[in-house]
Amino acid sequence: MTRTLALTLAAATLLVGCYQSHSGRAVPDGGSPPGDGRMPPPPPPPSSEAHFVIASLTLPDAVGRRAHGVNLDGLDSGEGSTEPDATCQEFNVDFTSIHGGEAGVDNAWSQLVPTLESLVGSTYDELLAARIADGSLLIGVRLDDGGGASLVSLSPSGPLRLDSRGRPEAGQRFEVIEELAVGSRSPDGARERMVIRGRFRIPGVEMFLPLLPIAELDRAQLTYAVGSGGLMNGELGAAVEVELAVESIASIMPGIEDTLRSVLESVADLDPGPDPQICTALSLGMAFEAVPAEF
**Domain-located, residue 96:** yes
pLDDT at residue 109, rounded to an integer = 92
CA 127 to chain centre: 23
**Domain-located, residue 77:** yes
Higher local confidence (pLDDT), 29 or 97: 97
As for how many domains the chain has, the answer is 2
Are 53 and 30 in the same domain? Answer: no
Are 25 and 127 in the same domain? Answer: no
**Domain-located, residue 41:** no
Q: Is the pLDDT of residue 279 over 90?
A: yes
Are 211 and 277 in the same domain? Answer: yes
Query: At a CB cut-off of 8 Å and minimum separation 6, what does 177 contact?
Result: 152, 153, 154, 155
**Domain-located, residue 226:** yes
Q: Is the pLDDT of residue 150 over 90?
A: yes
Instruction: Determine contact, residues 245/116, Cβ cutoff 8 Å.
Output: no
DSSP per-residue letters across the chain: -HHHHHHHHHHHHHHHHTEEEETTEEEETT----TTSPPPPPPPPPP-EEEEEEEEEE-PPPBTTEESSB-SSS---TT----TT--HHHHS--BEETTT--SSBB-GGGGTHHHHHHHHTS-HHHHHHHHHHTTSS-EEEEEETTSEEEEEEEEESSSPPB-TTSSBPTT-BEEEEEEEEEEEEEEETTEEEEEEESEEE-TTHHHHSTT---SEEEEEEEEEEEETTEEEEEEEEEEEEHHHHHHHHHTTSTT-HHHHHHHHHHH--EEE-SSTTSEEEEEEEEEEEEEE-B-
Ranking 174-178, 204-208, 223-227 by mean pLDDT, the lowest is 204-208
The string of pLDDT tens digits covering residues 96-143 is 999 989 999 999 999 998 888 888 889 999 999 999 999 999 999 999
Instruction: Determine contact, residues 162/171, Cβ cutoff 8 Å.
Output: no
Are 59 and 83 in the same domain? Answer: yes
Are 211 and 141 in the same domain? Answer: yes
Are 129 and 224 in the same domain? Answer: yes
Are 266 and 191 in the same domain? Answer: yes
**Domain-located, residue 43:** no
CA 123 – CA 113 distance, rounded (Å): 9
Q: Is the pLDDT of residue 207 over 80?
A: no
Are 136 and 190 in the same domain? Answer: yes
Instruction: Determine contact, residues 53/144, Cβ cutoff 8 Å.
Output: no
Are 8 and 75 in the same domain? Answer: no
**Domain-located, residue 40:** no
Residue 74 lies in domain: 49-292
CA 79 – CA 165 distance, rounded (Å): 37
Burial (Cβ within 10 Å: 0-12, 13-18, ≥19) of residue 136: middle
Are 80 and 153 in the same domain? Answer: yes
The string of pLDDT tens digits covering residues 49-94 is 999 999 999 999 899 999 999 999 999 999 999 999 999 999 999 9
Are 85 and 19 in the same domain? Answer: no
**Domain-located, residue 44:** no
**Domain-located, residue 265:** yes
Are 19 and 96 in the same domain? Answer: no
User: Once rounded to an integer, what is the mean pLDDT over residues 20-47?
Assistant: 53
